[in-house]
Amino acid sequence: MSAVPALHVITGPTAVGKTAQAIAWAHAHDAEVLSCDSVCVYRGMDVGTAKPTAAEQRLVKHHGIDLVAPSQRYSVQQYIQMAQTVIADVHARGKRVVITGGSGFYLAAFFGPVTDDLPVSDAVIEEVRRLQQAGPAAVLARLQSLEAAPLPAWLDTQNPIRVVKALERRMASGRSLDSLREDFLQRSSPFANFTVTHEVIERPDEELKQRIALRTSQMLQHGLIQEAEHLLSLNLDPELPSARAVGYRATMDWLLSGRQVALEGLAERINLDTWALVRKQRKWFKRLGLGQF
């Protein structure tokens, strides 16, 4: 093994074939797989996440899956801490690590800073959650009221999650968003001590859409509906990532509506939601300099 520990990242849009590629790479390089998927961390969400099967996990040891219950929150900082522990352990055993997945913030952590370690109290989190219940406009209005100047252009005000995180940090610190961002940009990647190589798997749009449609059909046949029924039984906070996950959200809405549309209609919505995710992922790859889309 080289003096500078190496990590290899295999990414690409959903349904492109990352799992198979990562397993093949792991076999060829005596490596173990670290998931970079923000939904695979949830136990019981197997079919709808295309989580590596039991057989695939027997072929190669996987990390970063089945970590928490769907009712729990799992932050990027928690992911980073878990990943650092896993990587240290795997390298100590003389093996390599291949990271695979397409979740933006998790992926970004291997190429630059993603968190500022700013402590946010439970009281602040609870206050913001109450605002969320009133809708995104209420959250945005509260954030604007705290800033002495117009909201900075770099903040994506159309992204509710980004606005929520900005408000939490603004309230917790008492500092302007620009000031917080300036400090953040001075930070290094939590994996800066590693040599990170990467490959982005892509397919032509029509081929990828066909793969998505096939995968959706297989998921609906093999347990997605049952998994969505279980999530509904948990009465999840609708703002939890598990409650908003692509495929699950559409299926839960379908169940709550009394299955008013045919199964084909549900499949079409999942396909459209999945394609929207693909577009979002491609923007992340471009932002991180991993590809030109």
Check whether residue 209 and residue 198 sit in a common domain: no
pLDDT digits (tens, 9 = 90+) for 49-79: 999 999 999 999 999 999 999 999 898 999 9
Number of structural domains (the chain) is 3
How far apart CA 173 and CA 119 sit, in angstroms, is 8
Q: What is the CATH number of the domain that holds 63?
A: 3.40.50.300
Do residue 139 and residue 33 come from a single domain?
Answer: no
pLDDT at 160: 86
Residue 282 falls within a domain, yes or no? no
Range of the domain at 157: 122-185
- Interhelix angle 205-221/224-233, nearest 10 degrees: 70
pLDDT of residue 293: 45
- For 67, 107, 169, the CA distances from 79, given in Å and listed in that order, are 10, 10, 19
Q: Which residues contact 181 (CB under 8 A, 6 or more apart)?
A: 152, 154
Q: Is residue 289 part of a domain?
A: no
Contact indicator for 11, 285 with CB cutoff of 8 Å: yes
Q: Which residue has the tokens 């219940």?
A: 133
Do 93 and 134 lie in one domain? The reply is no
Say if residue 143 is in the same domain as residue 254.
no
Mapped onto helix, strand or coil, the DSSP state of residue 290 is: coil
Q: What is the pLDDT of residue 52?
A: 96
What is the residue type of 256?
A: L
- Beta bridge partners of residue 97, listed in sequence order: 7, 32
* Residue 226 belongs to some domain of the structure: yes
Residue pLDDT tens, the chain, 293 long: 445 679 999 999 999 999 999 999 999 999 999 999 999 999 999 999 999 999 999 999 999 999 999 999 898 999 999 999 999 999 999 999 999 999 999 999 999 998 877 889 999 999 998 999 899 999 999 999 999 889 999 998 988 888 999 999 999 999 999 999 898 888 889 999 999 999 999 999 999 999 999 999 999 999 999 999 999 999 998 888 999 999 999 999 999 999 999 999 999 999 999 999 999 999 999 989 986 54
Structure tokens at 211: 């793969």
Q: Could you tell me if residue 74 is inside a domain?
A: yes
Q: What is the pLDDT of residue 291?
A: 65
Kindly give, in sequence order, each residue whose CB lies less than 8 Å from that of residue 30, ignoring residues fewer than 6 positions away: 95, 96
Tell me whether residue 293 is in a domain: no
pLDDT score, position 244: 93
- 63 and 193 share a domain? yes
- φ, ψ of residue 111 in degrees (nearest 5): -125, -5
Do 59 and 196 belong together in one domain? yes
* Pair 70, 193 in one domain: yes
